[in-house]
Chains A and B, each alone.
Chain A
Amino acid sequence: KNQVEQSPQSLIILEGKNCTLQCNYTVSPFSNLRWYKQDTGRGPVSLTIMTFSENTKSNGRYTATLDADTKQSSLHITASQLSDSASYICVVGLSGGYNKLIFGAGTRLAVHP
C-alpha cells in the first residue's frame, strides 16, 4: 500500500532555532518527492521537488534531503521565523500521465517568540 509517514506530528521551537522534519515513504512507482507548506485554512504551497537522482535541494532557509535507497526525506529549517508556523507536508509523486500524489498527514510546526 502506498504510504507516506511523517514525524513528529507536531513541534514547538523558539524563534531563531533550527529544526528538522522527517518523512518515510513506501510508494511505487516513485517519480518525485515534494515538500509543501500549508498555513492554517489555506492551500498548500510548494517548497521543493526532488527526483530520485537528487539528494538535496534548497529554497531559502528550507533544505530538503532525499535518500532514495532508504526511502527517507527530511526538511531542515534554518533560523526559524514566526512566519514558519504552519503544517509541512511530505508528498510523493507517482509516475503517470497526471500528478498522482500521495500525501503525508503533515507536521504541525509552531514557532514561538
Chain B
Amino acid sequence: ETGVTQTPRHLVMGMTNKKSLKCEQHLGHNAMYWYKQSAKKPLELMFVYSLEERVENNSVPSRFSPECPNSSHLFLHLHTLQPEDSALYLCASSHLILRGRVNTEAFFGQGTRLTVV
C-alpha cells in the first residue's frame, strides 16, 4: 500500500450520469494531483492542488470538476462524460518542493478504471 487510497476501483457510467471519484492520503502531504492514463499513452496531468488551492488545470473539459476540501481528500466529480473519457484515473500526493529539497517522492493510488458507455 502506498498510503494513497482511491475509490471506487472500477466504475461504469452512462453518458448522462453524475458520479464522483474519491482519493484519500494519510501521508501528511500538502499537494494532490489527478492524472488520466489512456491506453498506451503517457500519464496526463489534469489538476494540481497545493495547500488545498488549485494551482494547475491542464485544459481539462468542464465535465471534470475537482474538489479538495482538505489536505487529505481529493474528489473528481464527473458529469455528462464521453466514451473517450474511459481511462484509468490516478490520484497522487506529495510534499511541496521547498527550498533545499529537490527530490520529493510522489505516491500514487491504485487508480479508478472508468468506463463510459
User: Do A and B interact with each other, yes or no?
Assistant: yes
Which residues in A have some Cβ–Cβ distance to B below 8 Å? 4, 31-32, 41-46, 49, 51, 89, 95-99, 101, 103-106
B1 CB to closest chain A CB (Å) equals 10
In the complex, the answer to whether B110 meets A42 with C-beta atoms within 8 Å is yes
Which A residues are in CB contact (< 8 Å) with B110?
42-43
Given A41-B113, A49-B103, A51-B103, answer yes or no on A98-B96 (Cβ-Cβ < 8 Å): yes
Which B residues are in CB contact (< 8 Å) with A99?
31, 33, 92, 94, 97, 104, 106
Which residues in B have some Cβ–Cβ distance to A below 8 Å? 2, 4, 6, 31, 33, 40-43, 45, 48, 50, 55-56, 88, 90, 92, 94, 96-98, 102-111, 113
Question: What would be 8 A-B contacts, judged by CB atoms less than 8 Å apart?
Answer: A43-B92, A44-B43, A45-B2, A46-B105, A98-B31, A99-B33, A101-B45, A105-B40
Q: Count A-B pairs with CB separation below 8 Å.
A: 67
Which A residues are in CB contact (< 8 Å) with B103?
32, 49, 51
Report which of B41, B98, B102, B108 forms a contact with A44, defined as CB distance below 8 A: B108
Which B residues are in CB contact (< 8 Å) with A32?
102-103
In the complex, the answer to whether B97 meets A98 with C-beta atoms within 8 Å is yes
A48 CB to closest chain B CB (Å) equals 10
